[in-house]
Structure 1
Amino acid sequence: MASSLFGRSAAFLVLAAAWATGATAQEQPRRTRVALGPQLVPRYPGADGHVVRPFLDFSRVSGDTPFPFEAADESSSISIVNSNGFAFGPALSFEGSRRTRDIPGLPRVGFTVEVGGFAQYTASAVPIRGRVELRQGIGGHKGLIGMAGVDYIARERDEWLFSIGPRVTFSNGKYQRAYFGVPLDAVAGSGLPGFRPSGGIHAVGVNAGFLKQLSRNWGITTYAKYDRLIDDAGDSPVVRRFGDRNQLSGGVALSYTFFGRAN
């Protein structure tokens, strides 16, 4: 969904700074990779229009350790615990606003900060990673949203990487009513029938990404994602009249790797 994609682009600046500060206190990483480019994402969850937003990424590693795999649709996060393939930590994302002119007659949904956490497991015997996120909206939709996904990862260290895997997005009633509901007091103004969705899975889809190192310093990374709104979200009169059950996203970024010295 757009929330994860937009959130990764904006929230990475906050968590990357915290990560960099913590890493420097222990050692000076030898390699830092920064990627920047455009991405096309739905204007808001359930929209049929798209907007261009920044596609950003930041990774740091020591020595010759390959850069860790990160899917383009996951939130910005820091691993507080990382042991035997398991990782846990905080996650941060942002969701842009839905304006009143986007859906005439329905309440505006303001800008949302989504704060939560993640848990993931990377298998050692097979190139598979599973990840679950759960985030609470502060302001804006004020709801609870989460994502579960599994990625198959094929790579040649940092020379190239391809990933693909299914996604399930779920949310509580407050989130779904913000984007997919029609309050009774808005029926006359919007011309839509009243609709009060409940919580549960609201989208299923797939995400694919590809990264290629072009030279010692320069590289390119791309991704494409498809989500299908289902259940209450898919049946919402807001989506059927003004939006689209099919949610497409994609982006491309140019990366540059800086080389430093270890302490």
Structure 2
Amino acid sequence: MTLPRLPLFVAALSLLALSAPASAEDVSGHQYVMDLGAGVMAQPRYPGSDETIFVPYPLIAVSKFFVPGYGQIDAENDTRNFAIYPSFNYIGKRNSADSNELKGLKDVDWALEAGIGLSARYDWIRGFVEVRQGFNGYSGQVAQFGLDVIASPTEDLEVRFGPRAGWGSQSYMDTYFGINASEAAASPLYDQAYHADAGFNTVGLAGSATYNLTDDWKLHALVGWDRLVGDAGNSPIVEEGSVNQYYAGTGLTYRFAFDLF
């Protein structure tokens, strides 16, 4: 399963562009196979927060599709592949009234991140990078890097686990981890401004599992931990909250298979 940057880490996690364990229906010869569903995620209230909130999130996975003039692409059953896929993330509004640590700081409006992901899999190992542009709440860029070990303990269960790293542009970093002079003057906690430069802001681990309940229904689970580093980890906002960011989620998807050509 994207989703990080928190919150909401969700869409990057939920846009599975990863494959689930193959089911019997996959041999039907359909040109397109996708899994659609929804779940719930427990995650920090805002980047650097030590409070947890629960949020809904979508689950979308396209594992088999046909490209006219090129042919069939079967990312699910081909364990040696290269994939290009869309990557999205939604970050909820940060309201200064939500936490004592935010008093005096400006509200940060919700942000939508949209971009592209690239992945390469060779048998039991998969690496990926996702780059997204922020809109509304901030106007910079973020990137996430990951490496997964893939195992199938049973025919119906697939497990993935590996390290993660996140990067943010100056606009992203200053929006969520910086404090300007007027905010420092208004805050009862922060007595000076803090500027956060572009750079790597998280390192961590993530694990996910997908289980075939039936040929069509799948159960998904995700757990992860990110540690804020660099200018993000040194931010006074994070010092009042937590450098350790934990998240966990679960959801259900239903499989659709169809032909267009």
Q: Is the shorter-chain TM-score for this pair beyond 0.5, marking a shared fold?
A: yes
1:257: which partner in 2?
255
Mapped contact 1:207–1:223 kept (Cα < 8 A): yes
Mapped contact 2:164–2:206 kept (Cα < 8 A): yes
2:91 to 92, 95, 98: 95
Residue identity matched to 1:59: A
Distance 1:198 1:215 in 2: 48
2:193: which partner in 1?
194
Distance 1:129 1:3 in 2: 25
Distance 1:117 1:256, change over 3 A: closer
1:6: which partner in 2?
10
1:52 to 31, 51, 54: 54
1:208: which partner in 2?
207
Distance 1:135 1:62, change over 3 A: closer
Q: Report the CA distance between 1:196 and its aligned residue.
A: 0.6
Mapped contact 1:9–1:55 kept (Cα < 8 A): no
Q: RMSD of the alignment, in Å? A: 3.0
Residue identity matched to 2:246: L
- Kindly, what percent of the aligned residue pairs are identical? 27
1:20: which partner in 2?
none
1:40: which partner in 2?
42
Mapped contact 1:55–1:251 kept (Cα < 8 A): no
Compare the two structures and name the one with the higher helix fraction. 1
- Counterparts of 1:1-263 in structure 2, within 5 Å, are 1=4, 2-3=6-7, 5-8=9-12, 29=31, 31-61=33-63, 68=76, 85-102=81-98, 103-123=102-122, 126-155=123-152, 159-191=156-188, 192=190, 193-241=192-240, 243-258=241-256
Deviation track 1:170-228 (CA, whole Å, cap 9, x = no partner) reads 11121111111110111121130311111111110011011111233333110101000
Distance 1:97 1:218 in 2: 33
Q: Report the CA distance between 1:100 and its aligned residue.
A: 2.2
Distance 1:53 1:189, change over 3 A: same
Residue identity matched to 1:36: A
Distance 1:92 1:252 in 2: 18
Deviation track 1:201-258 (CA, whole Å, cap 9, x = no partner) reads 11100110111112333331101010001121111111112x2111000011123334
Structure 2 unaligned residues grouped into runs of 5+: 18-28, 66-72
Distance 1:109 1:158, change over 3 A: farther
Q: Report the CA distance between 1:157 and its aligned residue.
A: 8.7
Residue identity matched to 1:128: I
Normalization by structure 1: what TM-score? 0.77
Deviation track 1:83-117 (CA, whole Å, cap 9, x = no partner) reads x7322344332211111213111111111121222
Residue identity matched to 1:87: A
Normalization by structure 2: what TM-score? 0.78
Distance 1:134 1:8, change over 3 A: closer
Deviation track 1:110-150 (CA, whole Å, cap 9, x = no partner) reads 11121222222112xx4111111111211202221110110
Structure 1 unaligned residues grouped into runs of 5+: 16-26, 70-81
Distance 1:207 1:62, change over 3 A: closer
